[in-house]
Structure 1
Amino acid sequence: MTTPHKTPHAPVWLQWIGQGVSFLLLCVSALAAIVLIAVPLLTGSQTYSVLTSSMAPSYPPGTFLVVKPTNFDALQVGDVVTYQIESGRPDVITHRITGFSAGQGGERMLTTQGDNNDVADPDPVMEMQVRGELFYAVRYVGFLANAFGQTDRGGITTALALALIAFGIITTARGAIARRDAAGASTTTEAEQSEAVHS
């Protein structure tokens, strides 16, 4: 008579926790991909991260901004816009529109101010300077991009989102393999027990 050999495997409750964590990570990865990559690409938006506290507390440093193209004539007081400090230069500022003025030729110009600033920005903003209107913002995501010191955060946030997706897929795949192995071990144990009974 032979003694059945039992293959140790994780308790069922521990397997369920692992599956839950894997699923949560996959959901977070998918959401990151949608928020950081898909929506900006589909809407033709540009991404930035806040470097200063001029728009705090609504948009503190480290906030990830998605700025979409907009019709200049449709902008209103209270809208948050991203504009070039100097036309044609990459440096930008994201501030709120507080009013309008007219240039020498009668063209419409914006008066802007940071929410956390006491005074309006010194120079009016012309249409050619405006990169777009704030579409949405995600806090803290911009901290990683800030560490790289870039103005346009598209490449970094894409890499981050892809890394999250890859991590979620790998974690889910490992969970599936572990479940398969556990099921195989259970089947083997049952077969060995059956063989031991007949011996």
Structure 2
Amino acid sequence: TVRVCLELDTSLRMFGGRFRVGALRSPLHSPAQIAEMARAVARRPGFRLVGIMAYEGHVAGVGDAVAGRPLRSRAIRLMQSAARRELAERRAAVVRAVRAVAPDLEFVNGGGTGSVQHTAAEAAVTEIAAGSGLYVPRLFDNYTSFRGRPAALFAQPVVRRPGVGVVTVLGGGYPASGAAGADRLPAPYLPEGLRYDPQEGPGEVQTPL
């Protein structure tokens, strides 16, 4: 038997769908759509629907305290507040609709590092995903509702000394997922005072500091 988990599109849609924010992960947005897919799974021999997944990346993966951008930060907080309310109601309706087809549903996965405390309060959710929050990259420095302690550091060997006050290390760590930006890059940590070269930044081959 093939065990199937359906993924819910958690995106926030407003103004008749003209405004949309959220990760592009699934075409199943409404309770009716996901219930229809659940029935299709139930009709197929050898397949069993066991779970629902719903990752709210626009809440969990977007910091709401962007340094030097107070208006943007305020807009993000307003969007996320609306998104949490809308999704909690819709996710509960989705679970009810799917359980009508698959009453022995085993799990409903939700959340993300930046929304753990909110998603955990939803009765419809049975398990929480934390993802990169297990090691807390610098992305999570920009949250008002989440504070973590970094649990992973990259020790990069110095391979060149191109000038006074500059060293070049091998590689450049790993960027966080999402739209490219400074908040997604690893942060030089030790020795204190290190900073990226503005013309080069971190790279997969080398990183001047």
The structure with the largest helix share of the pair is 1
Q: TM-score range by the shorter chain?
A: under 0.3
TM-score by length of 2: 0.20
CA radius of gyration, larger in:
1
